[in-house]
Structure 1
Amino acid sequence: MAIDDDTPGADLSDCEVEALHEVELGLEWLRRAHGKLVEFHHNTGHAMEHLDEAETLLRESGHEDLADEIRKRHLPRGVVDDHRWSYDVLESFEDDFMADVTAFAEHTRTDLADGRRHVAERRQEREWKRQARGEK
Structure 2
Amino acid sequence: MPSEPQGPDAAHRRPPGVDDRTVEALGKLSEALEAVEVARGHLYAFHRLSGTADLTCGQAVDLLREAGHDALADRVEQEVVGRNVIEGRWTFQVVEDYDATYYAAFKDVERAAREELVQGRRHLYEAEMKEDRRTRGARHHEARPPQP
Using the size of structure 2 for normalisation, the TM-score is 0.76
Pairwise CA distance, 1:132? 3.0
Using the alignment, how far apart are the partners of 2:38 and 2:108 within structure 1? Answer: 17
- Does structure 1 retain, via aligned residues, the 8 Å contact 2:54–2:82? no
SS in 1 for 2:77: helix
Q: Within the alignment, does 1:95 sit opposite 2:95 as a pair?
A: no
Give the aligned CA root-mean-square deviation in angstroms. Answer: 2.0
Identify the residue that residue 90 of structure 2 maps to in structure 1. 85
Larger RCO (CA under 8 A, 6+ residues apart): 2
Unaligned runs of 5+ in 2: 1-9, 138-148
The runs of 4+ residues in structure 1 deviating greater than 3 Å are 6-10, 125-129
Identify the residue that residue 79 of structure 2 maps to in structure 1. 73
What amino acid does structure 1 have at the position aligned with 2:136?
A
Pairwise CA distance, 1:11? 2.2
Would you tell me which structure has more helix in proportion to its own residues? 1
Identify the residue that residue 62 of structure 1 maps to in structure 2. 68
Using the size of structure 1 for normalisation, the TM-score is 0.82
Identify the residue that residue 51 of structure 1 maps to in structure 2. 57
SS in 1 for 2:21: helix
Q: Percent identity?
A: 30
Identify the residue that residue 3 of structure 1 maps to in structure 2. none
